[in-house]
Amino acid sequence: MLRDLGETLAAHPFFDGFEPAQIEFLVGCSTNIVFQEGEFLYREGETANSFFLVREGKVAVETDSPPTGPLTLVTVGRGDMLGWSWIVPPYVHRTDARAIEQTRALSLDAVCLRDKLESDHELGFRLLTRFVSLMAQRLESARMQLLDLYGNHHD
């Protein structure tokens, strides 16, 4: 079972280029998990205890907009990662993440990861670099949405 989990981690695009020993180091923090349509992976305000690598399915990252209800910020699918709040104190989710179809994912335990990264700084650097890159992509996507929503439209 753990061998299969290591192969699953290694095959996910998030870990592309990671050394086999680094992948094996992370297996102990990883779990396969399934979310049904409409089920929340996490909710805004909850402690960020994990992050997720989507294997199959789709997840909407949402924020509450009181006048209209949930507002989808981004939709992620196969090969994507979500849940970076585990890495930024105070480790609290700033959005909701809801499966919009049945979703299979890898869940990586945040406490386990933080402990392992303290003992392997090279792995920590590699993981943080990957997260920063994804966070930058998500911020750029949010910026483009704001420009589309609030930008000057000249006819």
Full-model pTM: 0.83
pLDDT score of 99: 98
User: What span, in angstroms and rounded, lies between the C-alpha atoms of 52 and 97?
Assistant: 10
- Assess contact for 51 and 108: CB atoms under 8 A: yes
The pLDDT confidence band at residue 101, using thresholds 50, 70 and 90, is: very high
Half-sphere exposure of 144 (CA within 13 A, CB side): 8
User: What span, in angstroms and rounded, lies between the C-alpha atoms of 114 and 116?
Assistant: 6
The pLDDT confidence band at residue 107, using thresholds 50, 70 and 90, is: very high
Q: How big is the chain, counted in residues?
A: 155
Mean pLDDT, residues 97-122 taken together: 93
Q: Which residue ranges form the domains of the chain, and what is each CATH number?
A: 31-145 (2.60.120.10)
- Assess contact for 126 and 18: CB atoms under 8 A: yes
Residue with tokens 């909701």: 96
Amino acid occupying residue 152: N
Strand, coil or helix: 73:
strand
pLDDT score of 1: 45
Half-sphere exposure of 2 (CA within 13 A, CB side): 7
pLDDT in tens, 43-100: 999 999 999 999 999 999 998 888 888 888 889 999 999 998 998 899 999 999 999 9
Mean pLDDT in the chain?
A: 88
32-55 in b/e form (b: 16+ CB < 10 A) is eeebeeeeebbeeeeebbbbbbbb
Strand order in the sheet with 81-82: 30-35, 103-109, 50-56, 81-82
